[in-house]
Amino acid sequence: MTGSVVLWDFDGTLAYRDGRWRGCLVDALTEVAPGHGVTRADLAPGLRDGFPWHRPETGHPDLNTPDAWWDALHPLFVKAYVGAGVAAEPAALAALGVRAHYIDATRWTVFPDTVAALAELTAAGWLHVVVSNHVRELDDLLRDLGLAGHVATVVNSSLIGWEKPHRRIFETALDLAGRPERVWMVGDNPVADIAGARALGIPGILVSPGESGLRPAVRRILQGDVDSMWTPSTGRGLPGISPEGL
């Protein structure tokens, strides 16, 4: 592919969905039960465990179609609704609508400097690979958000069956990138993105695009922080898995 590649997280790094998963569930519930009174905070406890990325040590090759992936999450959504006080019938109906609401690109926002950051690095000879714990429709979201043209390829956990920070998803990204001479991981999750990458010796840059933007990451990549690149790591002792996209 190239000698210089940046691996990018997607959700919370390049773009975000207002309200994330909690907001999505509220939207789906509003469609079937207007005036329900359930808040995002009410749903949070039921979403803290149960997504594939909450068990990154376990692969899920069996969830190999979009329907299979979403069907596996239906009980989780129902549980979150019932835990928030929603009756079983509307909970089940709302859970069926979560998918359509989550993949609606009009509810997603690209961070203000995302395109400029990608373009600046591209001009300097870097290629971009998205490495994300995400839904099966991520490629469609990237296209609809106008980001697909900036990205060489996408490594999606729901397609390959392994979640960050598992080493297999990063190994897949490196293989697809042609084992580049220079590589960075940029993401907003200290566990899934940064610790996972560093376990393979990939230098990671933790970002908070909503607060400080992506410019600091671009500057660091272009300057080349040699001391932190390809730091040997055993991959042991990763911190506890943090929730992704609540």
What's the pLDDT tens digit per position in 14-54? 999 999 999 999 999 999 999 999 999 999 999 999 999 99
Average pLDDT over residues 95-113: 97
Do 185 and 137 have their domain in common? yes
Asked whether the predicted pLDDT for residue 102 surpasses 60, the reply is yes
Token couple for 127 = 């290629």
Do 9 and 37 have their domain in common? no
Residues with Cβ within 8 Å of 57's Cβ and at least 6 positions away in sequence, in order, are 166
Do 11 and 115 have their domain in common? yes
Average pLDDT over residues 107-130: 98
Asked whether the predicted pLDDT for residue 64 surpasses 90, the reply is no
Residues with Cβ within 8 Å of 61's Cβ and at least 6 positions away in sequence, in order, are 161
Residue 241 lies in a domain: no
Token couple for 89 = 């019938």
Asked whether the predicted pLDDT for residue 189 surpasses 90, the reply is yes
Res 226: pLDDT = 42
Asked whether the predicted pLDDT for residue 205 surpasses 90, the reply is yes
Residue 240 lies in a domain: no
Phi, psi of 108 (to 5 degrees): -105, 150
Res 225: pLDDT = 65
Asked whether the predicted pLDDT for residue 190 surpasses 80, the reply is yes
Do 50 and 94 have their domain in common? yes
Do 113 and 128 have their domain in common? yes
Res 238: pLDDT = 37
Res 32: pLDDT = 96
Confidence of residue 245 (pLDDT cuts 50, 70, 90): low
Do 192 and 122 have their domain in common? yes
Do 9 and 119 have their domain in common? yes
CA distance 131 to 239: 20
Average pLDDT over residues 158-182: 95
Residue of 227 and 56 predicted with greater confidence: 56
Mean pLDDT across the chain: 91
Asked whether the predicted pLDDT for residue 232 surpasses 80, the reply is no
Res 2: pLDDT = 65
**Residues spanned by the domain of 160:** 4-16+107-228
Judged by phi (left if over 0) then psi (alpha if -120 to 50, else beta), residue 237 lies in: left
Confidence of residue 243 (pLDDT cuts 50, 70, 90): very low
Asked whether the predicted pLDDT for residue 56 surpasses 80, the reply is yes
Residue 149 lies in a domain: yes
Confidence of residue 230 (pLDDT cuts 50, 70, 90): very low
Residue 156 lies in a domain: yes
Provide the number of structural domains found in the chain: 2
Domain boundary among 106, 141, 167: 106
Asked whether the predicted pLDDT for residue 191 surpasses 50, the reply is yes
Q: Where are the alpha helices (DSSP H) in 6-149?
A: 20-32, 40-43, 66-83, 88-102, 114-123, 138-144
Neighbours of 246 (CB within 10 A): 16
- What percent of the chain has a predicted confidence (pLDDT) above 90? 87
Amino acid at 217: A
Do 197 and 116 have their domain in common? yes
